[in-house]
Structure 1
Amino acid sequence: MFSFRLVYIFSYNLFQFCGHTWILANTIARFFTFGRDALADTFYSVAFVMGLCQLLSILELFHIADGIEKARLLPRFIQVMEKNLLLIMVIMLEEIQSKPVVCVLFFLWNILDLLRYPHELLCVMDTPSIAMLWTRYTLWIPLYILSVATEGVTVYQALPYIEPAALSSARSPGPVPLLLCLPALALGASVTVWQLLKERQHHLGKWNKKMKRK
């Protein structure tokens, strides 16, 4: 029997899956069409859909808190906030929007989400797949670490464009808050990876016990 909560969470995961699939397909198609030149305007071609998907990802915190989705709140909170804050920074600093690192960052974000949302859809339909489960909780971790490293590079490349504003305005906070983001990213990533390893052990262990019972 279908319930509103089931239809809602299925629709949410399906929307996110379709949105990130479109972004990834658009990015790859533009790269094969225009080559390296496509890196410069990737942000402009996918920014709206990316911003919408990342903004809606805040709902996942309420999903976990409400029990609709079974996951750890802390690592998801860190992931959602770091993505949204980085995206806001990129939107505010037009100078870095055309840099290749932004294209790489968006590419990694989409790969990560396309490893997660299909698994969530299968779980909602009560048809879990061991291949998707293993991929979700194994490949996701090194890719997440790589994405955090790319986020750090993005922040570092944004520093020169913050400094002129800091010199021209006494009220501007300058690059100090961005510098503080680097150790914060490292700390947040360490906590998230630790939590994800625990999730991996739990879910794969649970699956193995289920298979042994059969």
Structure 2
Amino acid sequence: MLSFRLAYIFSYNLFQFCGHTWILANTIARFLTFGQDALADTFYSVGLVMILCQLFSILELFHIADGIEKARLLPRFIQVMEKNALLIVVIMLEEIQSKPVVCALFFFWNVLDLLRYPHELLCVLDKPSVAMLWTRYTLWIPLYVVSVATEVVTIYQALPYIEPTPSSNNSSAAPAQINLPLVLMLYLPVLALGASVTVWQLLKERKHHLGKWSKKTKRK
């Protein structure tokens, strides 16, 4: 049973690593080939694989809850939900899919995941690398802040294309209006609060893991 769990979590992390590597390599290759013209086609080129990777990332919440992966549930929940929520907005709005900010958003998301999943693979193999450990818990934090700022810009650019939609109402009165732009505007402070909590938790994890590695090195 234990070997099956290890094989499963290794396969999951390998799948995510390969998926995000393909997305990032495809994005960079298209940009080097077609220049700025490639920015408008980023979603159409890699959007499906990105959606699959982000949908599968929901499984990580169950991994942590089940104890397969040792990590804090709250920051991971915030990271997974904010990405999937923003993807829904991008998928809904064809006008925003060709914006350069979507290319920037996908770029930062993939760089962040390619800093994390190799570290997770080495941990599963019980062969942690101090370089990967330092990268995972040091470079990851400022890049995460930049990615959240990109998410804010994406939401801001999507606002002009969103119109209030009528909600279902069985009464004879006029249907109520759901003000989606207002909902997104209210989501922005929630996003900022969630990102602050995530950074705070990541700083605690960084102190714990790097301190643990330092003590282990001194004993040797």
Would the TM-score normalized by the shorter structure come out above 0.5?
A: yes
Q: 1:172 Cα deviation (Å)?
A: 3.5
SS across alignment from 2:128: coil
Q: 1:166 Cα deviation (Å)?
A: 2.0
Distance in 2 between the 1:141 and 1:117 partners? 15
The runs of 4+ residues in structure 1 deviating greater than 4 Å are: 167-170
Deviation digits for residues 149-186 of structure 1 (CA, Å, limit 9, x no counterpart): 00000000010011xx2289853423110001111111
Which residue matches 2:172?
A: none
Which of 163, 166, 186 is the aligned partner of 2:164? 166
Which residue matches 1:105?
A: 105
Which residue matches 2:153?
A: 153
Which residue matches 1:201?
A: 207
Does residue 130 of the first structure (1) align with residue 130 of the second (2)? yes
Native 8 Å contact 2:122 2:128 kept in 1? yes
Q: 1:81 Cα deviation (Å)?
A: 0.1
Letter in 2 for 1:87: L
Letter in 2 for 1:109: W
Distance in 2 between the 1:174 and 1:49 partners? 27
Distance in 1 between the 2:76 and 2:5 partners? 20
Native 8 Å contact 2:30 2:38 kept in 1? yes
Structure number, greater radius of gyration: 2
Native 8 Å contact 2:165 2:177 kept in 1? no
Unaligned 5+ segments in structure 1 are none
- TM-score, length basis structure 2: 0.94
SS across alignment from 2:164: helix
Aligned identity (percent) is: 83
Deviation digits for residues 83-113 of structure 1 (CA, Å, limit 9, x no counterpart): 0000011000111000000000000000000
Unaligned 5+ segments in structure 2 are 167-174
Q: 1:213 Cα deviation (Å)?
A: 1.1
Distance in 1 between the 2:6 and 2:181 partners? 45
Which residue matches 2:60?
A: 60
Number of residues of Structure 1 aligned to a counterpart in Structure 2? 212
- TM-score, length basis structure 1: 0.96
Native 8 Å contact 2:165 2:179 kept in 1? no
